[in-house]
Structure 1
Amino acid sequence: MISAAAELAHRLARNAEAVCRHYLPNGRREGRYWLVGDVDNTPGRSLFVRLTGGDRGKGAAGKWTDAATGEHGDLLDLIAANRRCTSLRETLAEARQFLSLPQPKPFDERLLEPAPQGSPEAARRLWAISKPIRGTVAEAYLRFRGIADLRDCASLRFHPRCWYRPNADDPPGTREAWPSLIAAIRDGAGVLTGVHRTWLDPGGEAKAPIATPRRAMGRLLGNGVWFGRPAAVMEAGEGLETMLSLQQVMPTMPMIAGLSANHLAALTLPPTLRRLYIARDDDPAGRGAVTTLAARARDAGIEALTLDAVLGDFNEDLRRLGHAALADGVQAQLAPEDVARFLVVEARKGG
């Protein structure tokens, strides 16, 4: 049975140009696309919405991409971002209003059939009800970790009360909802296949005091958290904070976080890839993952180079040694042409 969200997304896609003219009036149609600056309706050409195409898959009508941030989605995602919707319920209500459809009766609390726990659909719903991280506990947490430049992080969102299922290692009475940094897990085509949650202490300076403050759900194998789009040169590593730390000194380098050693080793390599930098965690699992991924890359004719932190962890390098030292340490490990193309010694300050 098709979900209410999927049905509304299909209806919106069949009226894609009308959706764009309503929510993105500063854009304009060019051929099969609507072009505008971003989801906030800024004039420009970075964001493009496909106006015609099939019902699903690559090339479907209603699919959009922001080339400046790497963010993707369907028209429900666009409406949620444009109207700053804070819940899936709010997004669906806005879409129904645009389509002149009746709203659910007040007593009907079940807008959607329950999604299987841990499924891609459950991940999609969590992503839809999360909000941008600016001004949130998630932004404060990342800044405390030295990650100040978050302007190109459309793969990150925030949920103020994300449900946490305590396990046997949690003490009795552990809270079941915490602020959470939500990261979108996508495949190489930009399709959201899962999310990763980092539960946070409400003070914003640490992860939540729970047994497993990091968990992922959805379809993870081969996929990861993308910063940028697949390209000829890119970086891969395990953790979000590892890749975000490297992004502070290489803001235009496409990157992907595999989220664990096993998933890093199993990443799907984009067909466009020619050179892969792999950030190595200094532990047995991390070293093994790099060895496996590098061998797979070389078998596919891709140059594979390893990046090692001075202190064993790139976030520790950033926090303890600073931006300039992190850049210096990375510079010696990059191909000369990539130093000129990607490395920023004086990292940008977050705005």
Structure 2
Amino acid sequence: MIPAAELARRLADQAEAVCRHYLFNGHREGRYWCVGDVRNTPGRSMFVRLDRGECERGTPGRWMDAATGEYGDLLDIIAKARGLTRFTDIAAEALRFLDGSHAQPERVSRQSDAGQRASGTPDAARRLFALAHPLAGTLAEKYLHGRGITNLHGTASLRFHPRCYYRPDAHSPTETWPAMIACVTDLAGHQTGAHRTWLDPFGHGKAPIDTPRRAMGKLLGHAVRFGWSGEVLAVGEGIETMLSLRCALPHMSMAAALSSAHLAALLFPATLCRLYIAQDADPAGDAARDTLLARAAAAGIEAIVLSPALEDFNEDLRRAGIEALAAGLRRQLIAQDVARFLSPPPLPGR
């Protein structure tokens, strides 16, 4: 019997092939395979490391589900996918995979979406952002204003592309829609990816397509950043969530991780002393919050959760207004940060 560690190592050498075979409802994002869960449910809560970058830590084949806190290796994926519990059966299935019984379907799968994967590299993300226009006066600015976000200072990480490619799936023709393009960067400010929000060309919100938001490039650990963090940083999932917070906290540095899974794995700046976590009210958001709290505590960073009054901070801004949003934040911030970051209330009569 081959030891489990040896089987896991051999599977890790083919991590993407394993994911394409057993987690075929997912897709590749940068160096990770994203799917709903280890049982192959469609979604984005679980991520599997596919390879190791030249300067990055991480073992290929290791996975984590931000919604449930589950984690493991590729043997666990095979066990769950096939409903196996005994190691002898799991090992036999792994050996069948390694012997090549999956090879023909895998070749077809690779051919079917080769173009999609090629377009999702960090280099492609950098080219897309470079071709986009500054935000001011564009449909993207109008879209954000429509979401109640009118204070757009310090948003150089956002641009607008009038004809951004969109492909519904590997078998559909490519379309073009206007899009807001967000730059994803690492802690040193180097672009590693991009996020696209496709927009309705007539200014009626997001484009009427199945997936109006998609990311590309290397995302895990990185974020869309608004201001550069020193000792204090606010983080959350969505771009609009963080921009809504920034309307009330215009001088606080913020980062949007783009999903709960990526929020849980966000890298901390070396100078960080206090972390504010903008919570999304759903199970995946709760799990990401708890993971981030534990990681911050282990790193000696003070972490404080910011909770919206309604479903999220953008809804607070749109439905309750900036004054109510600021009042809610005033009760949750550390006192010294209220004085340092919170916008003063408007004068009477204004």
1:187-336 map, 5 Å: 187-336=186-335
Instruction: Output one character per residue of 1:40-59: Cα deviation in whole Å (capped at 9) or x when no partner.
Output: xxxxxxxxxxxxxxxxx9xx
Q: Is the 1:328–1:345 Cα contact (8 Å) retained in structure 2?
A: no
Q: Is the 8 A contact 1:249 1:346 kept in 2?
A: no
Q: Which structure has the highest helix share of the two?
A: 2
Alpha-carbon distance, 1:200 to partner: 0.4
Q: Counterpart in 1 of 2:118? A: 116
CA distance in 1, matches of 2:177, 2:236: 26
The match for 1:7 is none
CA–CA distance in structure 2, aligned partners of residues 252 and 187 of structure 1: 21
Following superposition, the deviation at residue 251 of structure 1 comes to 0.7
In structure 1, the partner of 2:16 is none
Structure possessing the higher radius of gyration over alpha carbons: 2
What is the percentage of aligned positions where both structures have the same residue?
58
Name 2:147's counterpart in structure 1: 145
Q: Could you tell me whether the CA contact under 8 Å between 1:246 and 1:314 is conserved in 2?
A: yes
User: How big is the shift at 1:152?
Assistant: 1.4
CA distance, structure 2, for counterparts of residue 178 and residue 132 of structure 1: 17
| 2:276 aligned counterpart, secondary structure | strand
The residue number in structure 1 matching 2:182 is 183
Gaps of at least 5 residues in structure 1 are 1-56, 58-114
Q: Which runs of 4+ in 1 moved over 6 A?
A: none
Deviation at 1:116, TM superposition (A): 3.0
Q: Deviations over 1:85-141 (max 9, x none)?
A: xxxxxxxxxxxxxxxxxxxxxxxxxxxxxx932000000100110010111110000
- For the residue of structure 2 that corresponds to 1:296, the secondary structure is helix
Q: Show the counterpart of 1:107.
A: none
Counterpart residue type for residue 329 of structure 2: V
Q: Is the 8 A contact 1:167 1:211 kept in 2?
A: no
The code of the aligned residue for 1:225 comes to: V
Q: Structure 1 residues 336 and 290, CA, compared in 2 at 3 Å: closer, same or farther?
A: same
Q: Structure 2-normalised TM-score?
A: 0.64
TM superposition shift of 1:204: 2.0
Of structures 1 and 2, the one scoring higher in RCO (CA 8 A, sep 6+) is 2
SS, match of residue 248 in structure 1: helix
Offset of 1:346 from its aligned partner? Answer: 4.1
Per the normalisation by structure 1, the TM-score is 0.64
CA distance in 1, matches of 2:133, 2:270: 32
What runs of 5+ residues in structure 2 fail to find an aligned partner?
1-54, 56-116
What amino acid is the match of 1:314? F
In the TM superposition, what whole-angstrom CA distance separates every residue of 1:135-165 from its partner, at most 9, and x where no partner exists?
A: 1110000000000011210110000000001
Alignment of 1:31-46 (within 5 A): none
**Please, what is the CA RMSD of the aligned residues?**
2.0
CA distance in 1, matches of 2:254, 2:187: 12
- State how many pairs are aligned: 232
